[in-house]
Amino acid sequence: MITAIFAFRDDSPKYKQIYEQFKLFIDRGDILADERLPSIRQLADSLQVSRNTTLMAYDQLVAEGYIRGEGGRGYFANELEPLISQGKVILPALKQSESLAPPSLIDFRAGAVDQTHFPLKVWRSIANQVLSLQESYQYGEPFGEMFLRKQIATYLHQSRGVKTNANAVIIGSSTQQMLINLGYILKADFPCITVEDPGYDGARQSFQLHNFMIETLPVYETGADFSQLEHSKSRLIYVTPSHHSPYGISMSIQQRQTLIHWANKIEGYIIEDDYDSEFRYTQQPFPALASIDPARVIYLGNFSKSFLPGIRLSYMVLPEPILKRYIHQFLHFESTTSLHSQLTMAKFMEEGEWNRHIKRMRLVYKRKMQQMVSQLLMQFDQTISIIGEQSGLYLLIKVDLNRSEEWLIEQASFHGVKVYPTSIYYLNNTTDIPIIKLGFSNLSSEEIKLGVELLKMAWV
């Protein structure tokens, strides 16, 4: 039997060695076209490895076309048509970006929400009701439907302490889209902007599109460093004070007051991105900067993180002088977001479903965060540091293994786990030890456990 000649090495994952050996058998004709392969169970028992290990090897062989799975019958070798050159088999070289990796078993993506707890029946029912409204069959208002703007104004007052009226609320499709519009009207008077370093790269790209001069506010795991702010050229700053992206820390009330004082002193503005403030697990959500001084704060929020990414619903609250300029500039532009989604969300909020959803999901995500932290500490002990476990839908792990970020991501991929870099968030304030981003919102308890176990196999 072919498996009898296996001899595992210590320098490579076992699934990869199985994959490479079967690939070699098929390439040189030891396994013929249409020949049945051992089952997952038989192969695992024969090689004394887990079934997951043999499954990962077979999945990679299937993905590359060496074998095929036939439902209920097992796995079979495919016929190959290699390129022949001077009597030698020439296999096409893979680019570095196409390195071999099995299909992802676990995806620690941060930009997702929990599907199993999504209020599908309620949302569908309200969406159907909205389709009976006359206004659903016409173009919407350029700055958003007043029904939704009123609901958002009420919600912000109750949950974030932001006192505003519906006319100051602008609806858009995404944070980036609104920042691009804002940048267009602000760049003449505010050619320079300060952004957090590290900080949300999507916002930075929006400002760079308008050729803003970029200055940086250094942020560390312990908080932001405001010492150089007084000497900056900027009179405009973009921050994520309630849940810093990516560190997950929150500004203290003293830091918030320092920032408000700075903006008033120079007659500038703070752009506050409050992107997922609903999900704080140790205390109540912090009051927004806009609740302290609405005259100096441009407030941004969205429904993507807390409800559904694909709904493409975001909003901002503008101080009076900027609101007038914004309305004048964009009065004749069509709304960038779905009228039907706006009316459905407004009704969803009016009937109290939004508040019920947030309360429910805060408990769901808190349990997932706790499990993620528990599993990471159990598997890795002192080799990692966990950052940002008090809030949000992801956490960061600082991996102290003398390995690069690229290596960690690649090895995780080889073991069927997709993890994400944080290097994209940094400009100048870089870190010596790589930090990996792990989202958990759309993973089950079992998937979190398996994902962390596979990371242990990949890294240690």
Residue 186 has a pLDDT of: 96
Q: Does residue 168 surpass a pLDDT of 90?
A: yes
Conformational region of residue 79, where left means phi above 0, alpha means psi within -120 to 50, and beta covers everything else? beta
Q: Does residue 92 surpass a pLDDT of 50?
A: no
Q: What is the pLDDT of residues 398-422, one digit of tens each?
A: 999 999 999 999 999 999 999 999 9
DSSP string covering 106-117: EE--SS---STT
Give me the helix-helix angle, 339-350 and 353-380, nearest 10°: 90
Backbone angles phi, psi at 391, to 5 degrees: -160, 165
Q: Does residue 351 surpass a pLDDT of 50?
A: yes
Q: Does residue 5 surpass a pLDDT of 70?
A: no
Q: What 8-state DSSP symbol labels residue 186?
A: H
Residue 144 has a pLDDT of: 96
Kind and range of the H or E run holding 248? none
Residue 82 has a pLDDT of: 52
Instruction: Report how far residue 40's alpha carbon sits from residue 42's, in angstroms, rounded to the nearest whole number.
Output: 6
- Residue % of the chain over a pLDDT of 90: 64
Residue 103 has a pLDDT of: 63
Q: What is the pLDDT of residues 259-307, one digit of tens each?
A: 999 999 999 999 999 988 888 887 666 789 999 999 999 999 999 888 9
Amino acid at 217: L
Backbone angles phi, psi at 219, to 5 degrees: -125, 135
- Work out the pLDDT band at 84, boundaries 50, 70, 90: very low
- Work out the pLDDT band at 52, boundaries 50, 70, 90: confident
- Work out the pLDDT band at 109, boundaries 50, 70, 90: very high
Q: What is the pLDDT of residues 359-396, one digit of tens each?
A: 999 999 999 999 999 999 999 988 999 999 988 899 99
Burial (CB < 10 A; 0-12, 13-18, 19+), residue 242, is buried
Place of tokens 């965060």: 369
Pairing assessment for the beta strands 106-107 and 417-418 based on DSSP bridges = parallel
Q: Does residue 91 surpass a pLDDT of 50?
A: no
Q: Is the pTM here over 0.85, yes or no?
A: no
Average predicted confidence (pLDDT) for the chain: 89
**438: Cβ–Cβ under 8 A, 6 or more apart, which residues?**
108, 110, 372, 394, 395, 396, 397, 419, 420
> Do 270 and 291 form a contact (C-beta atoms < 8 A)?
no
Q: Does residue 12 surpass a pLDDT of 80?
A: no
- Work out the pLDDT band at 162, boundaries 50, 70, 90: very high
Q: How far is CA 234 from CA 193, 224, 265, in A?
A: 5, 17, 12
**276: Cβ–Cβ under 8 A, 6 or more apart, which residues?**
243, 305, 306, 391, 392, 393
- Work out the pLDDT band at 130, boundaries 50, 70, 90: very high
Mean pLDDT is lowest, of 17-31, 107-121, 145-159, for 17-31
Residue 139 has a pLDDT of: 87
Residue 83 has a pLDDT of: 40
Q: Does residue 26 surpass a pLDDT of 90?
A: no
The more confidently predicted of residues 329 and 6 is 329
Span 440-447, average pLDDT:
94
Residue 406 has a pLDDT of: 94
Mean pLDDT is lowest, of 12-21, 184-193, 239-248, for 12-21
CA atoms within 13 A on the CB side of 219: 27
**275: Cβ–Cβ under 8 A, 6 or more apart, which residues?**
175, 240, 243, 245, 300, 301, 302, 305
Q: Does residue 97 surpass a pLDDT of 50?
A: no
Kind and range of the H or E run holding 171? strand 169-172
**183: Cβ–Cβ under 8 A, 6 or more apart, which residues?**
206, 207, 209, 210, 212
Nearest Cα residue to 107 out of 384, 386, 420, 423: 420
Q: What is the pLDDT of residues 178-229, one digit of tens each?
A: 999 999 999 999 999 999 999 999 999 999 999 999 999 999 998 899 998 9
3-class SS at 316? strand
Span 54-75, average pLDDT:
86
The more confidently predicted of residues 3 and 360 is 360
Q: Does residue 319 surpass a pLDDT of 80?
A: yes
Domains and CATH numbers, the chain: 2-92 (1.10.10.10), 106-116+357-459 (3.90.1150.10), 120-355 (3.40.640.10)
Name residue 171's beta-bridge partners.
Answer: 315
Residue 266 has a pLDDT of: 95
Q: Does residue 174 surpass a pLDDT of 90?
A: yes
> Do 426 and 432 form a contact (C-beta atoms < 8 A)?
no
